[in-house]
Amino acid sequence: MNIIFIEPAFPTNQREFVRGLHSAGANVIGIGERPLEYLDDDLKHWMGDYIQIGSVVHEPSLLQAVKAVQGKLWVDRLEATIEAHIMPAAHVREATGIPGTSTRTAYLCRDKPAMKQVLREAGVPCAQSTRAETAQDARDFAASVGYPLIIKPPDGAGASGTYRVDDDATLEHVIRASGLADGVPVAIEEFIEGHEGYIDTISINGEVGHEFITHYYPNVLEAMRERWISPQMVATNRIDEPGYAEVREMTRKVIKVLDIGTSATHMEWFFGPKGLKFSEIGCRPPGVGQWDVYNAANEFDIYYEWATALIHGRKASEPSRRFAAGMIALRPECDGHITGYSGLDEIGNRYGDCIVTAHLPEPGTPTQSVEAGYMANAWMRVRHPDYDALRGILDDIGRTVTVHAS
């Protein structure tokens, strides 16, 4: 099978998707922005060909490159795994007749107001929401629904550009800060109180082949605003317990309604006083290297599983579910440059066997802001057979390790 893969070299873990495709028997043709000499020898070996273009989100350039490949051989699939690449890839698929995620599905997995409207009509519980095109739209929605509210870009990812609004004065500030006052549309929705998590799948012909559930501690918006927090994302190995049945059922309904065929998916949810609520879905793998956490927890190769689903329409193996696994972000005590660490030896002595990977930038490395995300500075991945014990270990790491900066 001949598969075009968009942007194989950046970010770094993109190479793992190429490796998986090659291992599963595909002839991989890469289209990316980096020069060929930028690619390492393994990555070059895993690809049968590579085409460099100026931008993989510039659809005319991407279309031209894909047509050039089609002029030489039959293309079975065109795949992208980065949020910003999903819609350009769908448009090019449609223009060239290549199977895969449709433009409708890609749009509904990208545009949050449209996504929620379609799912609400299908009976999936969602927060009240709308697309605000003008400042008055936002004021009218606030008057109808009440506070608190969440305002974000319609096609945003994570907590980027997201605001919590608790009163009229804050709303007026966000109307200006978000660009809505200048005509930039936003998604606006009721704030859902409760615990936040996500469920990731590999869907095969519209059916869930693999699934994994991860919990946020604390919820994302709080984690991305407070420096003192060492936020965690923890994947459970108790997914078969009855408490998860409702979110697993909702996931399957969302996949059906959005007509997702064979693809990775990433779906966020809340559970609280109003029950289980769908938040949003991406027709792609999760970010922050979370698939590597699932590999550590389940002692298998999820990149190979994804590739096997695309190429052969089936699973290659089952996850072991032997470990719960998570990552913890370790924030520098201030912005500037990292000067060192304390508490690492103590943590290593206590939990060395449980630590899978640690990313500890060298002293002198510039820090990144809290808002830059979970992997912006130092972090660790940890696993343990018992979920509750793992939570305790991660909490201890957060209390004990300090990233010094000045």
Phi then psi for residue 348, to 5 deg, are -60, -40
For residues 135-151, average pLDDT: 94
Q: How far is CA 111 from the centre of its chain?
A: 15
For residues 195-211, average pLDDT: 98
CB 188 within 8 A of CB 155: no
**What pLDDT sits at residue 157?**
61
**What pLDDT sits at residue 78?**
98
Residue 160 above 80 pLDDT? no
Q: How far apart are CA 113 and CA 156, in angstroms?
A: 11
For residue 319, name the pLDDT band (cuts at 50, 70, 90): very high
For residue 156, name the pLDDT band (cuts at 50, 70, 90): low
CB 328 within 8 A of CB 232: yes
For residue 159, name the pLDDT band (cuts at 50, 70, 90): low
Quote the tokens at residue 275: 């029950």
**What pLDDT sits at residue 391?**
98
Cβ contacts of 251 within 8 Å, gap of 6 or more? 199, 201, 208, 211, 265, 267
Q: How far apart are CA 111 and CA 2, in angstroms?
A: 30
Q: How far apart are CA 108 and CA 323, in angstroms?
A: 34
For residue 52, name the pLDDT band (cuts at 50, 70, 90): very high
pTM of the predicted structure, to 2 decimals = 0.92
Quote the tokens at residue 346: 């103590």
CB 367 within 8 A of CB 332: yes
Q: How far apart are CA 221 and CA 231, in angstroms?
A: 11
Q: Quick one: which of 265, 246, 268 has its CA closest to 152?
A: 268
**Coil, strand or helix at 289:** coil
For residue 155, name the pLDDT band (cuts at 50, 70, 90): confident
Q: How far apart are CA 205 and CA 274, in angstroms?
A: 32
Q: How far apart are CA 50 and CA 42, in angstroms?
A: 13
CB 32 within 8 A of CB 49: no
Q: Which of 158-167, 240-249, 366-375 has the lowest mean pLDDT?
A: 158-167
Cβ contacts of 221 within 8 Å, gap of 6 or more? 150, 159, 162, 164
- Average pLDDT over the chain reads 95
Task: Look at the domain 2-100 and name its fold.
Answer: Rossmann fold (3.40.50)
Quote the tokens at residue 243: 């408490």
Q: How far apart are CA 171 and CA 146, in angstroms?
A: 11
Quote the tokens at residue 31: 């289209």
For residues 276-304, average pLDDT: 96
364 to each of 294, 370, 372, how far by Cα in Å? 32, 18, 19
121 to each of 125, 188, 335, 380, how far by Cα in Å? 9, 18, 46, 41
| Candidate CATH numbers 3.30.420.40, 2.60.40.10, 3.30.470.20, 1.10.10.60; the one for domain 195-405 | 3.30.470.20
**What pLDDT sits at residue 161?**
81
Domain limits, the chain:
2-100, 128-190, 195-405
For residue 102, name the pLDDT band (cuts at 50, 70, 90): very high
For the stretch 58-61, contacts whose Cβ atoms lie closer than 8 Å and that sit 24 or more positions apart, written own/partner, are 58/88, 59/88, 59/91, 59/92
Domain 128-190 has CATH 3.30.1490.20: yes
